[in-house]
Amino acid sequence: MAGRLDGKVAIVTGAGSIGPGWGNGKATAVLFAREGAKVFAVDINGEAVAETKAIIDGEGGDCLSHVADVSDDRAVSALVDTCVEAYGGVDILHNNVGLVEVGGPETLSEAAWDRMLAVNVKSMYLTCRYALPHIVARGGGSVINLSSIAATHSLGYPCASYAASKGAITAFTRNVALEYAAKKVRCNAILPGLMDTPLIRASVTGAYGAVEAMIERRNAQCPMGFMGNAWDTANAALFLASDESRYVTGIELVVDGGITLKVS
């Protein structure tokens, strides 16, 4: 089935990828375009977002790339204005940007803690602040926030600032969902489990010693015997972005192959 997002304009933040391969944001941007959306792809890394745009262009899709730091108020205001100028409005806001850092209260610096909360949580407040009036003006739409099972469960290593940021995102999502329900704007969170993406190779390998050990351990932790990937996240996002989820708001869509069903 194609065309599930025909006529929609989607802002996707973190639409690049931190390394080679498919990150959640990159896969989601490409999938949204394949389903007919005009994709306004945002990333702090110009090369990474240009690569995503090139993939979408190569497939005949419609994409504009934009470089911005989504934790910066003025940059977010400008990116929303640029999207509206270029595409005439906003229907879907996909808040994918998120950092991961290993560490607990005694090892995380205050600066690292502040950066985590600014990039992971404040960014979503800012994009909502500037995009929601435009989504409301279209008669409704969808906001999707990337949280994590770390909001409620241990990932097997200390990541206090990451877990705190993801817990805040799920609470923020529920609150926005209720405030905007009457305006037909849905707001939902996706909680991926252990996913094999460039992000984990770059950010959590240290907790396991080496990349191979990390992949093996994480696969073994998963009830299905393997980690999910960026397309599992993107397909969940597609459902929440499309009108098929028109009566779904404020949920935490867990995409984890059953890992949160386990006691240990």
Ligand X SMILES: NC(=O)c1ccc[n+]([C@@H]2O[C@H](COP(=O)([O-])OP(=O)(O)OC[C@H]3O[C@@H](n4cnc5c(N)ncnc54)[C@H](O)[C@@H]3O)[C@@H](O)[C@H]2O)c1
Least distance (Å) between residue 184 CB and ligand X: 26
Shorter beta-carbon distance to ligand X: residue 37 or 230: 230
Least distance (Å) between residue 211 CB and ligand X: 14
Letter string b/e over residues 29-47, b meaning 16 or more CB atoms within 10 A of that residue's CB: bbbbbbbbbbbbbbbbeee
Give, in order, the Cα–Cα distances in Å from 147 to each of 82, 94, 169, 172, 254. Answer: 26, 12, 6, 10, 9
Shorter beta-carbon distance to ligand X: residue 70 or 93: 70
Q: Please give the radius of gyration of the chain, using alpha carbons only, rounded to the nearest integer.
A: 17
Shorter beta-carbon distance to ligand X: residue 62 or 69: 69
Least distance (Å) between residue 145 CB and ligand X: 8
35: Cβ contacts below 8 Å, ≥ 6 apart: 2, 3, 4, 5, 6, 238, 242
Least distance (Å) between residue 206 CB and ligand X: 15
Shorter beta-carbon distance to ligand X: residue 13 or 245: 13
Q: How far apart are the first and last CA of the chain?
A: 38
Phi and psi at residue 214, in whole multiples of 5°?
-65, -45
Shorter beta-carbon distance to ligand X: residue 136 or 164: 164
List of residues contacting ligand X (CB under 6 A): 13-14, 16-18, 23-25, 43-45, 48, 69-71, 96-98, 100, 119, 146, 148, 192, 194-195, 197-200, 230
Least distance (Å) between residue 83 CB and ligand X: 14
Q: One-letter amino acid identity for 210? A: A
Task: Identify whether the C-beta of residue 169 lies closer than 8 Å to the C-beta of residue 124.
Answer: yes
Residue 133 CB neighbours (<10 A): 12
- The catalytically annotated residue of 87, 130, 162, 180 is 162
For ligand X, the nearest residue by Cβ is: 98
Residue 87 among the catalytic residues = no
What distance in Å separates the CA atoms of residue 16 and residue 12, rounded to the nearest whole number?
A: 10
Residue 2 CB neighbours (<10 A): 8
Catalytic positions are 162
